[in-house]
Amino acid sequence: MIKSYLNSLYNFWPFYVRAHSRPGTRWLHFIGNTNLFIWLFLAAVQRSLPVAVLGVMTSYTFAWIGHFLVERNVPATFRYPLKAGICDMVMYYKMWKGEMAAEVKKYVTDARS
């Protein structure tokens, strides 16, 4: 079952990358995820569920601004929440390493890096 899901995730990645082809969208996701980690740290320190919820809400705001105003598409989380969340963390990691532009060039025909 896990192997099947990982294969499905591997096949989902190109779709996810194409949905994040513009640098502005990727950077808004990066800011949103960094924001999320800060809020979740604060929520853990304070042992506060409302702070964690606030962190999730504000983080999604960054991502959705990227999709609706920059990319002009519908966030993948609306249809594939778990896969999109996992791929978002992969993208976040690849952005830290400076590898995400290469992924866009690999999967997007009119790569805007």
pLDDT tens figures, 21-71: 999 999 999 999 999 999 999 999 999 999 999 999 999 999 999 999 999
Alpha-carbon torsion angle 25, 30, 33, 39, nearest 10: -110
User: What does the block give as tokens for 51?
Assistant: 């702070």
| % pLDDT > 70, the chain | 96
Look at the block and give the residue holding tokens 């976040």. 92
Specify the pLDDT at position 109. Answer: 83
pTM above 0.85, yes or no: yes
